[in-house]
Chains A and B, each alone.
Chain A
Amino acid sequence: SQQGEEDPQALSIQEGENATMNCSYKTSINNLQWYRQNSGRGLVHLILIRSNEREKHSGRLRVTLDTSKKSSSLLITASRAADTASYFCATDGLMDSSYKLIFGSGTRLLVRP
């Protein structure tokens, strides 16, 4: 079964607005990663946040992690039409040294020009 659940399932915003996506997971983790997927193609790695980190930035991306609530959020600021894609969170378990990832259900983001 999937570890993570994401909300919203779908998000439609105007270009220039900010987009926030949330991810929840069930068990203790080593890391949480966010990926982007355009139109059913390969996944693009966006950012990795470790379990001992609370916030991380990369360009227009801001990721937060709250291990007490087992949740993470991805904020995309000043969105562009090119940000239209599906976004997935993925975790690897603290008790599992195999590095295998369990993915959330994904958020479909539409940025309207």
Chain B
Amino acid sequence: SAVISQKPSRDICQRGTSLTIQCQVDSQVTMMFWYRQQPGQSLTLIATANQGSEATYESGFVIDKFPISRPNLTFSTLTVSNMSPEDSSIYLCSVGVLAGRPSGEQFFGPGTRLTVL
């Protein structure tokens, strides 16, 4: 499986500010995704990060609030903009369609734990 890293691992931010989370993979991957996990909850897909084009957002998530970049096949960023306490969550990136792996398998980064005061 791929080695996936995220930065920062955790942060405490003030409301109204923005935080950019980075996701780095040690090999080229076709698919990259961003998920949110609110406290005590399961994971919800925010968007699919498309290389070289705009991300595809799920219902309830918009580009102005969660801008995403994916400049190449190994790196993506998610920005949480104009934060409020409701944005306190764990944010996870995942990758899929790895060479030599069964189609559909997804692997997750270690997550970024965000607390907004």
Q: CB within 8 Å of B: which residues of A?
A: 2, 30-31, 33, 35, 40-45, 48, 50, 88, 90, 92, 98-106
Contact = CB atoms under 8 A, between A and B. Distances in A.
B45 A102 contact: yes
Binding site of B, secondary structure by majority: helix, strand, loop or mixed? strand
B16 to A, nearest CB: 25
Contacts of B102: 31, 48, 50
Interface residues of B, number: 27
Contacts of B56: 98
Contact of B92 (A42, A50, A100): A42
B12 to A, nearest CB: 15
B44 interface: yes
Interface string B98-116: 0000111111111101000
Binding site of A, secondary structure by majority: helix, strand, loop or mixed? strand
Given A30-B104, A42-B108, A48-B105, A88 B43 contact: yes
B108 A35 contact: yes
B48 A100 contact: yes
A84 B113 CA distance: 20
Given A40-B113, A43-B92, A98-B48, A106 B42 contact: yes
B31 interface: yes
Contacts of B75: none
Contacts of A2: 42, 44
Nearest to A42: B110
B63 interface: no
24 contacts: A2-B44, A31-B104, A33-B105, A33-B106, A40-B37, A40-B90, A40-B113, A41-B111, A42-B92, A43-B43, A43-B94, A45-B106, A48-B104, A48-B105, A50-B102, A50-B104, A88-B42, A90-B106, A98-B31, A99-B96, A101-B45, A102-B45, A104-B42, A105-B42
